[in-house]
A and B are shown apart, each in its own frame.
Chain A
Amino acid sequence: MSDEEKFDAIIIGAGPAGCACAYILAREGKNVLVIERGDCPGSKNVTGGRLYTYALELVEPGLYKDAALERQVVREQIMMLSEKQGITIDYYNENLEENTSIPQSFTVLRAKFDQWFADKAEEQGAMIASGIRVDDLLMENDKIVGVKAGEDEMYADIVIAADGVNSLMGQKAGLKEEWNGHEVGVGIKEIIELPQDVINNRFAVGQGEGAARMILGQTGGIQGGGFIYTNKTSVSVGMVVSPAELAKQDKSVADIYQDFKMHPAIQKLISDGTTAEYSAHLVPENGWNSVPKKLYRDGFLMVGDAAGFCINTGTIIRGIDLAIVSGVAAAKAILKESEQPGIQYMKNLEELSLVPTMKLFAGWPQITSIPRMVQKYPDMINETMDFMFKVDGKVPPKMTGALKNIMKSHVSLFELISDGWRGFRAI
């Protein structure tokens, strides 16, 4: 084994987790190799579209200013759809960090963001090998000592699996099992191009400002939800639904998504746009419950989606930030040069608040896992709206009675209280 073929660290996957880890290691002088199967970083990656800035700040303060970001999110919106109606709660907040004025979050396009991040890591001295798939791990005396790609073997002191939700490497290392249907969501995502001013008008945002909209209802009664993020000259539209429930239905995700898109309230937002990209991807959805029992072994660490670090609260999805945070945690553990980087890594995850945050969200997104949440409540709220705004020349029904009737026709009081309690408990 020649020196040439041995690295301090090999990182598998140039997603946000891998790039963050590579960036820091390379900056601190480590000899790092990142292997990415896509022709270029980001080419195969799917995400909704929002990045929380704090994570990039952990990599390098101020780094976000230079990042390939789309729009700063200033409108948080929740939309509830019934068959033909929709109500949107719109919360405007420039969301600047109190002391530093750093915006809380930005929309992103992965093809651009990942490429940018990988370039940055490369600038720091990391070597990025794209278009190459890692097929296996090399093992010696129960220690992981390198990777195998095609016929080629490459060695390193430590191998970091940043290979995303399906983490083949985690499985090869014996740390991770294949996902169960109830642990993941199936994500569908489309990028629809629209002129910048059309987006500004439709979402009532100014130049450089964006909206993030989560959508409940119209997922075919299946638990899950939709989203729309505004990019510079496109919107990212999609949904995440439960495959376990999907299996019980005869509709495909693609069909449900089509119906969702055709909803008049959604259609208005995206009409006349052209589809630039359409893709599907899994999302870890089970919170802490599905994080592998062990995230490391001798010579090996798991970060990002590979480690199951993703949170879906029903109103926000967080995966990119946690991927970056875990990449930072791994890099810092390796830099400590301790005997057991794995243990140090877990410590760092704890200190960077990632583990405690994950633990808070154990189980499928609590809100959307209540069946009523994806059908009955949106219907009910829309019917209430209908009642409040309807003028058809007839004698209107009495307020209290009417509202009670609407509610009764959808959910029982008991369900309402218990759902409120569950939602409360989940957070």
Chain B
Amino acid sequence: MKIIVCYKWVPDEQDIKIAADLKVDMSMAKWKISEYDKNAIEEAALQAENNAAEVTCLTFGTSKAKQSLKDALSRGPEKAYWVNDAKAENTDGFVTANILAAAIKKVGIPDLIFFGEGSEDSYGQQVGPRVAALLDIPALTFVTKTAVKDDAITTTRSIGNCTEDVTASFPAVVCMLPEINKPRIPSLKQVLKASKKPVEEIKLADLGLSDAELTVKNKVKSIQGFVMNRKNKLYQDGSSAEKVKALVSDLAKEGLA
């Protein structure tokens, strides 16, 4: 069984600052593998350990994403594919899916393709199922459990008001919810092994995509800090009981107590 797991290299939102003019400042941000994607990598690693799956990982990123390869490989995959292009700086679900699907076709469609439920930065929640559609294979999304048997995968999906078990024969795309597993913290040996694993850089030009396929669809007009419009009233005077009294009286004024 072959699995390709896709991940995105994202800025850590803890370090993203919003300036007074609401501009988003990422200059201090450390970058990391999107947390949701770590769940996908972990699930693939578990398949490697338990079902002898052959796991490779794939990322589309700028030259900076190079830093992610070692981390990704230390989490289990035996090989990394990296579509390295500055376009990753300004992309959308449409372009990203076109690129990933083309890259997957180029390296050979595996039995399973894993994704996280969305990327941590833009949380577009579409690349996985888009890739499935482009490859014309089923997409199993919001998955909390996987089980592989013969040439099929059975997943438990948790989709709001119900859970359902869906089985798909290979090949299929599976997108994981975070509760599916706890991503490992790579051990020293895993980290060392990672530095010896092969990395294959894929050039965008080799994917044979048209300009239209590489042009974002919706135009981003602005990305601005979210403004929280709240009263921010802190009760500071008096005893705890007095503070609580003041709070309840304010809630009463709002018709809530």
Contacts and interface: CB of A to CB of B under 8 A. Distances in A.
A248 B91 CA distance: 59
Interface centre among A35, A132, A154, A276 (most CB of B within 10 A): A132
Contacts of A129: 188, 191-192
Interface in B1-50: 17, 28, 30, 32
Interface of A: 33, 35, 39-40, 43, 111, 127, 129-132, 149-152, 154, 193, 274, 276
Given A40-B30, A127-B195, A274 B187 contact: no
19 contacts: A33-B192, A35-B188, A39-B30, A40-B30, A43-B30, A111-B30, A127-B192, A127-B195, A129-B188, A131-B186, A132-B187, A132-B191, A149-B188, A150-B187, A150-B188, A152-B188, A193-B17, A274-B17, A276-B17
Given A127-B192, A129-B192, A274-B17, A152 B30 contact: no
Interface of B: 17, 28, 30, 32, 71, 185-189, 191-192, 195
A111 B30 CA distance: 10
Nearest to A134: B188
Contacts of B191: 129-132
A149 B187 contact: yes
Contacts of B195: 127
A93 B188 CA distance: 47
A276 B17 CA distance: 9
Nearest to A40: B30
B28 A154 contact: no
B17 A154 contact: no
Contacts of A150: 187-188
Contacts of A40: 30
A5 B20 CA distance: 52
Contacts of B188: 35, 129, 132, 149-150, 152, 154
A114 to B, nearest CB: 12
Contacts of B17: 193, 274, 276
A47 to B, nearest CB: 17
Contacts of A35: 188
Contact residues of A: prevailing secondary structure: strand
A148 B187 CA distance: 11
B185 A152 contact: no
A276 B28 contact: yes
Best-buried of B185, B186, B188 by chain A (most CB within 10 Å): B188
A129 B189 CA distance: 9
Nearest to B195: A127
Nearest to B67: A40
Contacts of A43: 30
Contacts of B189: 152, 154
Given A33-B192, A39-B30, 17 more contacts: A35-B188, A43-B30, A127-B192, A127-B195, A131-B71, A131-B185, A131-B186, A131-B191, A132-B186, A132-B187, A132-B188, A149-B187, A150-B187, A152-B187, A152-B188, A152-B189, A193-B17
Contacts of A39: 30, 32
Contacts of B186: 131-132
A117 to B, nearest CB: 15
Nearest to A132: B188
Nearest to B193: A4
A39 B15 CA distance: 14
A420 to B, nearest CB: 45
A129 B188 CA distance: 7
A418 to B, nearest CB: 48
B72 to A, nearest CB: 13
A39 B12 CA distance: 12
B22 to A, nearest CB: 14
Nearest to A130: B191
Contacts of A149: 187-188
Nearest to A191: B28
B192 A151 contact: no
B80 to A, nearest CB: 17
Most buried by A among B185, B191, B195: B191
B205 to A, nearest CB: 28
Contacts of A127: 192, 195
A151 B187 contact: yes
A131 B33 CA distance: 14
A336 to B, nearest CB: 27
Which 7 A-B residue pairs are closest in the complex by CB-CB distance? A152-B188, A149-B188, A129-B191, A152-B189, A132-B188, A150-B187, A152-B187
B130 to A, nearest CB: 31
Contacts of A132: 186-188, 191
A292 B71 CA distance: 37
A35 B188 CA distance: 8
A159 to B, nearest CB: 14
B32 to A, nearest CB: 8
Contacts of B28: 276
Nearest to B185: A131
Nearest to A42: B30
A39 B33 CA distance: 12
